[in-house]
């Protein structure tokens, strides 16, 4: 089992590798992480560690202040937990540094994609649209026929229609980890990750790149 690191998407840029090849990369900023709680198999049925990260945006509630106070940690924006095998490595109040990802070569990035609002079928499902002429009037971007006649007299579930687009949880697997800049608290990964600038991304040790070949 591997832990996850919460990072903020800063921007995209490009860097050069040792062979002179240009790589498109995404810069991810990691704020201080602290352990605020532990789940044990005896009490909760599984072993896990709860981390807190990110600058807080609003005044925390009294129960949340008490929750952070148990670990002697200042309130933070996000709480998340990761299942682990050994709880002794994560003491209450201890800080999770970027050294935890020092052995990673590839990561899986999990984030919410950019929300695009309510979109028609051409943008949401890549419909070609209707003709520009030959009798088509004021219906060029409409979906066209969407149902049948009296039998069955309804639209089947799953029909591709206009819908809310984006703002969905997406996972990009096996992104190459280009650099870990501990001085500036940055993680540089090859390629793009979901979400807008300033959005939060969970980085985990790549599942497919680290499977045993037995």
Q: Domain check: are 157 and 123 in the same one?
A: yes
Question: The domain that contains 91 carries what CATH number?
Answer: 2.40.30.10
* Distance from the Cα of residue 203 to its chain's centroid: 7
pLDDT tens digits, one per residue of 63-100? 999 999 999 999 999 999 999 988 888 999 999 989 88
Same-domain status, 74 and 100: yes
Q: Which residues of 182-210 are buried (b: 16+ CB within 10 A; e: fewer)?
A: eeebbbbbbeebbbeeeebbbbbbbeebe
Quick one: 29 and 86 in the same domain?
yes
Q: What is the count of structural domains for the chain?
A: 2
Neighbouring residues of 211: CB distance < 8 A, sequence distance ≥ 6: none
Domain range enclosing 69? 4-115+169-210
169 HSE (CA, 13 A, CB side):
3
pLDDT at 214 (0 to 100) = 40
d(CA 204, CA 170): 13
Segments of the chain with pLDDT less than 70 = 1, 210-214
User: 138 with 61, same domain?
Assistant: no
Residues 177 and 157 in one domain: no
pLDDT for the residue numbered 212: 52
Q: Are residues 123 and 30 in the same domain?
A: no
| Predicted structure pTM score | 0.83
Residues 58 and 141 both lie in one domain: no
Regarding whether 74 and 96 lie in a shared domain, the answer is yes
Q: Are residues 144 and 199 in the same domain?
A: no
Residues 161 and 178 occupy one common structural domain: no
């Amino acid at each position: 089992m591997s832990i996850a690191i919460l990072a903020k998407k800063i921007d995209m840029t490009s860097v050069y590798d040792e062979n002179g090849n240009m790589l498109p990369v995404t810069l991810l900023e990691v704020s201080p992480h602290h352990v605020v709680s532990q789940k044990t198999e005896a009490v909760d049925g599984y072993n896990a560690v709860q981390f807190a990260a990110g600058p807080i945006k609003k005044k925390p509630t009294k129960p949340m202040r008490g929750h952070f106070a148990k670990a002697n940690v200042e309130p933070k924006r996000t709480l998340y937990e990761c299942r682990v095998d050994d709880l002794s490595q994560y003491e209450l109040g201890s800080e999770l540094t970027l050294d935890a990802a020092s052995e990673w070569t590839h990561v899986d990035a999990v984030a919410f994609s950019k929300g695009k609002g309510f979109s028609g079928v051409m943008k949401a499902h890549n419909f070609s649209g209707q003709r520009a002429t030959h009798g088509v009037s004021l219906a060029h971007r409409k979906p066209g026929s969407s149902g049948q006649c009296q039998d069955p007299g309804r639209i089947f579930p799953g029909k591709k229609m206009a819908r809310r687009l984006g703002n969905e949880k997406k996972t990009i697997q096996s992104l190459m980890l280009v650099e870990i800049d501990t001085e500036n608290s940055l993680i540089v990964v090859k390629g793009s990750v979901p979400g807008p600038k300033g959005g939060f991304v969970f980085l985990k040790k790549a599942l497919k790149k680290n499977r045993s070949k037995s």
